[in-house]
Every structure is written in C-alpha cells, then in structure tokens.
C-alpha cells in the first residue's frame, strides 16, 4: 500500500515543521503542507498546528510508490507523459487507496513529481506529469489558461455523419433523487464548448468513432454533450442508462454482465488521444494505443 506509517522518536522539543525540514529535507512550505494534510500523527491523532512543539514518539504517514510496470511513453527533464489504462485513478482519493497513477509517476521520478491534470478513472489515454515543482506550476497554469490542447477519441451510439459543435452550459447537479448524472445541461450552468468530428462507422454494431476537442474543461463535458445530442459514449454507466443501472454502478454492485448488456462495454469508451502544448519547445504527443480498433473491455 503506498501510504505507510513510520515511527520516529524526538528526544528534544522542536517545532513540528522544523522537525520535518531537518528530517526529510523539506522546504518550510512542503513541511507545512505535509502537516495540513494530517500526515504527522501524535498520540494517534493528526497534528494540524503547523507551529506546535513535538517531542517523544511521533508517526509520519508517507507515500511510498509502487509500480505495476507502466512506463512513460515520453520523457524529458521537465515532464513525462504516460498512456494511462482505463480503470486506474490519477490520484489516490484516500490513504487506503491501493494504487494510482501517482504511484507510477513518483516511482519513476521521485516525490516532487506530480500529475498536472486529472483523467477520470475509466477514461484511458495521455496523462501529463511534471518532474519537479517548477514544471508543475508551469504546466498547471498552462491548463488553467487553456494553452494545452486536448483531443479525445470516443466510440458512441449511432451513426455520426458530419462534424458538429455542442455549445451548451453545464451545471453540477445538487439533487440525485431522480437522476444519477453528476452534471446537466442548464442555463444556470457554466459555458462549455466541444467540437466533434466523425472518423469511422461500424455498421454491424451501429456505433461511430469520433474525435472530440473540448474548448472548455467542465466536469464530464464530453459525456454530457454527447448524451445531449443522443450519441452517448459506449460503456457509459451514467449518461444514457436507466436510473437503476447508474445507481448500481455508483454503489459498486453492477455486474460486468449487466453493464455490458446495458451499455455495450465494460469500460467507458473514451480515450485521451492527443496533447499539444509549448514548454520551451512545441510538443505534439499522440497516444500509442490504437483506439480505432473496437474493444468492448
């Protein structure tokens, strides 16, 4: 498990952040952030006061990455790019998380490396990771300022015959009693725009492979925009399924057989296929996965 507890004994009273700085070569900001995350344990409880005095036995919760053999497809001194498989989360969402892409990032590049954006667990494809804090700040700011262009591939229901744009505002739902959709199209939502282009049609299955280019970065943007135009993504257990199917999925009770029957696949058929951005030089990175070949798992 990546998060482990280590026990240390402090023989002389010292401020908690100074102990971390000396013991682990942290900067003051790193030490204070470590404490604010509840990673310094005293008497069985997280110590959250960054200037508190510590002495005697303390526990440190540290992230010790493991690897399952996923290697970056591109590396330079500032960043690395991974082809994330479907089914793996980007960051651990709790200390009990067994494995995430952050494991691979820090296994290969150390504790200062980090994912600079998120990809939903079931979405596969390109994940951009920084190798140090300076590159992390630059790349995250680039995402915020829309200077990084992302393109996705998706297998969707029905035949898409021509390219089109969906420009509909998206709102996070606050009531899940009648729908398990995380977001909805609403005039009260935030502006969102996605361009779609058809690439391939499978007549036997009546499904289309399309390219999706989001111009904004709203939650579930591609999924809700495609649902809105009645071309839901194959394998999507939330958008385009019955309420009970979505409920069972969110509760972790939907069997693979029932999901395959209800959605057409046992994973969300959405893939982050291309990244374009500048970092000293101009980069155009394309996934090594051939997503154009239909796979239902």
Residues with catalytic function: 120
Q: Do 158 and 148 meet the contact criterion of CB atoms below 8 Å apart?
A: no
Residue with tokens 């200077």: 147
Q: Residue 266 belongs to what H/E stretch? A: none
Cβ neighbours of 210 (radius 10 Å): 23
| Integer Cα distance of 11 and 128 in angstroms | 43
200 beta partners: 209
DSSP 55-109: EEEEEEEEE-----S---SEE-SSEEEEEEPTT--SS-SSTT----HHHHHHHHH
| Integer Cα distance of 2 and 22 in angstroms | 23
| Integer Cα distance of 53 and 243 in angstroms | 53
């Amino acid at each position: 498990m990546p998060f482990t507890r280590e026990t240390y004994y402090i023989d002389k009273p010292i401020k908690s952040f100074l102990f971390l700085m000396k013991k682990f070569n942290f900067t003051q900001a790193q030490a204070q952030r470590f404490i604010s995350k509840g990673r310094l344990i005293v008497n069985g409880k997280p110590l959250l006061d960054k200037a508190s005095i510590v002495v005697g036995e303390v526990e440190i919760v540290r992230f010790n990455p493991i690897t399952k053999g996923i290697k970056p497809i591109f590396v330079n001194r500032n960043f690395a790019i991974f082809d994330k498989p479907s089914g793996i989360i980007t960051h651990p969402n709790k200390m009990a998380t067994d494995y995430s892409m952050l494991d691979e990032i820090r296994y290969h590049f150390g504790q200062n490396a980090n994912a600079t954006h998120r990809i939903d667990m079931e979405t596969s494809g390109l994940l951009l990771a920084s190798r140090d804090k300076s590159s992390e700040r630059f790349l995250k700011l680039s995402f915020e300022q829309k200077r990084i262009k992302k393109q996705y591939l998706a297998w969707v229901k029905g035949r898409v015959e021509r390219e089109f744009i969906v420009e509909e505002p998206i709102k996070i739902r606050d009531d899940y009693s009648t729908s398990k959709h995380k977001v909805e199209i609403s005039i009260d939502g935030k502006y969102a725009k996605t361009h779609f282009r058809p690439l391939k049609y499978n007549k036997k299955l009546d499904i289309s492979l399309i390219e999706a280019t989001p111009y904004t970065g709203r939650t579930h943007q591609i999924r809700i925009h495609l649902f809105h135009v009645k071309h839901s993504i194959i394998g999507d257990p939330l958008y385009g399924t019955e309420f009970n199917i979505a409920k069972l999925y969110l509760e972790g009770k939907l069997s693979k057989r029932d999901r395959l029957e209800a959605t057409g696949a046992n994973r969300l058929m959405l893939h982050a296929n291309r990244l374009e951005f500048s970092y000293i030089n101009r980069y155009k990175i394309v996934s090594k996965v051939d997503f154009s070949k239909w796979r239902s798992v």
